[in-house]
Structure 1
């Protein structure tokens, strides 16, 4: 009896199920002088030339001894495979010695099909389960573990047909997503301009936020205790950076801590709290700053997220607009730390200075800006939801095609 692969199910009867070691073998060819194109692999863009990426991380003095790969090879970032940092390369070049390169064993393996298959959410779950490490962020996928994993193998003609189908469909979806994201960015620029015009006219001496807010950095709860599926009775959600979008919380990707009483925990969030993602704080649609409401609670504040509560001299809506104001970004970015993931610290936030009119004037300014920007914000939120649905549809379409749920004739 044919057995399913966890998270992927059972393929059509004319498809094979086999281990990766029967299809791929490890390649360890080294560059002599490092003159080849340097490539990098990302869970978002796949394998791309490093020269095309906006990367500020340390560059080795010499690329001698880097691993060579050629078009059609599968490249896996050992340390970030659990995040989906693996892909088939369409160009030849060299990659970091810490990556692993796998080459198809025969011409019956169509690389574009497996590029889609290995990057599905279900297969990434399998990779995560079979990686080694104590914490999720420290997981490593070693060649022996990857080669022991099973995969689906349709007939070669079907592999090609599925890859061609997905190339067409995903390209069309990506064009639509790009158009919507450009519009989101334009709306964010318009809103930022309105905020800047109003706040720039305030004639009051600046005051550091350290005198005006109570800021708390999240706690590093042990990931060993995380529950990644349904919440157990009496468990509590953790608010992580991934759950914060500009202007809203998103609970699609949730983890919990079980069976503990956090009612008096200082890291318990309450309605009205402002939360700010400290890793990659700015994205295309704006600053990852949101306000907690009743539906978000109970929840606990996790490391790399800051909770901000205004003190008596500061109106919360006014505070929100001063953080969305361009001088805040200008203050923060020169001292941003991190390479692939920019990070800001509570100290940087607290050293930011804002003009401090009376509370009545703060409230009046916030109401004016609410009136001017509410329509822009509403339009942006609808577009963000639309993009999220398109991305979900893209992923579900890929999964359905590469697992045989969607019949695509050869």
Structure 2
């Protein structure tokens, strides 16, 4: 946005989506700019080989053999995880889910300008009151009553053209950084695979001293973070391969803690139930957490004296072991798989001598730490790029910058 000037004069507007706009712009509610309706399709109507895009409540459409709209429209999810996050600008024939809003018949706005303004500011209308999270579902008045800053049509074209160009540049940078992350993760996997490929192949039961499953109390949604509070581990505590004690839910004060399920220093915590990619993920408990308890979705595994926990955690994350874990897991869907204690005991793992295990674990700690740092830095760059993209759009569609000359 550097080099872009502000408009000559502004007027104050106490609106949900902006506080001031250029003097010659109008404020118009959504109901006066677009027709608001929803689709009629259901997820079961999807056909993988269909001819028409079928917009559901996710980022990517599925396909359908039928269509119900033939128009240019802006679409947004009406409920679920996509609320105030999923938006599409489409033209032509398409199908829409019954909980997807279809906004068309544009009046006083160009479709692309409206898309930029609506997709970038609608989250302010969909806040649940906490200013942090969105509501579970979108109600029609949220769209109908949303105030838009509406410039003359020639300025709308200029703004949309400028944003098309600038957001394309940012999006290209983001895609390049995402590819870098993929390469780094592939490198990490290769390093772990090579380092854990030596040793005698043994059944996992041979290196297990004890295997226990946690319990399932009713917990608060927020984590325990004080010495007087008890927490029950969430399944995601071992997703990254490093134990995350913050991944827990607070045990209510009226629930009696079962201290026999407390995690123990040096044991492996493994996810019993998770997605296909993460079921069986394991991490070593490095510290003392006497008030953190295993949940029924996690296992606590104590190893025999000749097995180094850090090495075994790396081995479980290797491609060879992931193939075994995936084959042993069972469930009704890819998003919820489970692995039994019996199947864990029957896994086969390569185990070198204990001194070699420790040397390998130390080497992998160093190598994966470097790679993980690069991944974290790259993810931060992506987050900053997305923030810059959003700030640019907001500034343009609320008139905080004048793009007419550069556009």
CA deviation map 1:324-355 (0-9, x unaligned): 2002332344557576x734335388465434
Q: What is aligned with 1:401?
A: 396
Question: Contact 2:269–2:283 (CA<8 Å) still a contact in 1?
Answer: yes
Whole-Å separation in 1 of the counterparts to 2:291 and 2:27 = 42
Classify 1:378/1:218 alpha carbon distance in 2 versus 1 (closer, same or farther; 3 Å): farther
Classify 1:196/1:355 alpha carbon distance in 2 versus 1 (closer, same or farther; 3 Å): same
Structure 1 counterpart SS, 2:337: coil
- Please, which runs of 5 or more residues in structure 2 have no aligned partner? 1-11, 42-46
Q: CA RMSD in A?
A: 5.0
Question: Contact 1:210–1:350 (CA<8 Å) still a contact in 2?
Answer: no
| Aligned 1:293-372 pairs, distance under 5 A | 306=298, 310-311=302-303, 313=305, 314-333=307-326, 335=329, 342-345=335-338, 347=340, 350=344, 352-356=347-351, 359-372=354-367
- Please, which runs of 5 or more residues in structure 1 have no aligned partner? 52-61, 131-135
Classify 1:359/1:241 alpha carbon distance in 2 versus 1 (closer, same or farther; 3 Å): same
Question: Contact 2:68–2:95 (CA<8 Å) still a contact in 1?
Answer: yes
| Aligned 1:49-88 pairs, distance under 5 A | 49-50=61-62, 63=65, 67-82=68-83, 84-88=85-89
TM-score of the superposed pair, with normalisation by structure 2: 0.68
| Aligned 1:1-400 pairs, distance under 5 A | 2-5=13-16, 8-14=17-23, 15-27=25-37, 36-41=51-56, 46=59, 48-50=60-62, 63=65, 67-82=68-83, 84-106=85-107, 108-120=108-120, 123-129=122-128, 139-142=136-139, 144-155=140-151, 156-208=153-205, 213-214=211-212, 216=214, 221=219, 246=240, 282=277, 306=298, 310-311=302-303, 313=305, 314-333=307-326, 335=329, 342-345=335-338, 347=340, 350=344, 352-356=347-351, 359-400=354-395
Structure 2 counterpart SS, 1:100: strand
Question: Contact 1:218–1:301 (CA<8 Å) still a contact in 2?
Answer: no
Question: Contact 1:74–1:101 (CA<8 Å) still a contact in 2?
Answer: yes
Classify 1:250/1:77 alpha carbon distance in 2 versus 1 (closer, same or farther; 3 Å): farther
Structure 1 counterpart SS, 2:392: helix
Once the two structures are TM-superposed, the CA of residue 247 in structure 1 deviates from its matched residue by 5.8
Once the two structures are TM-superposed, the CA of residue 4 in structure 1 deviates from its matched residue by 2.4
Once the two structures are TM-superposed, the CA of residue 203 in structure 1 deviates from its matched residue by 0.9
Structure 1 counterpart SS, 2:204: strand
Once the two structures are TM-superposed, the CA of residue 10 in structure 1 deviates from its matched residue by 1.5
Whole-Å separation in 2 of the counterparts to 1:21 and 1:372 = 56
Classify 1:254/1:374 alpha carbon distance in 2 versus 1 (closer, same or farther; 3 Å): closer
Whole-Å separation in 2 of the counterparts to 1:170 and 1:250 = 35
CA deviation map 1:233-274 (0-9, x unaligned): x999998788987467999x9999699599957698898775
Classify 1:217/1:26 alpha carbon distance in 2 versus 1 (closer, same or farther; 3 Å): farther
User: Which structure has the greater CA radius of gyration?
Assistant: 2
Whole-Å separation in 2 of the counterparts to 1:336 and 1:198 = 29
Classify 1:186/1:109 alpha carbon distance in 2 versus 1 (closer, same or farther; 3 Å): same
TM-score of the superposed pair, with normalisation by structure 1: 0.67
Question: Contact 2:70–2:94 (CA<8 Å) still a contact in 1?
Answer: yes
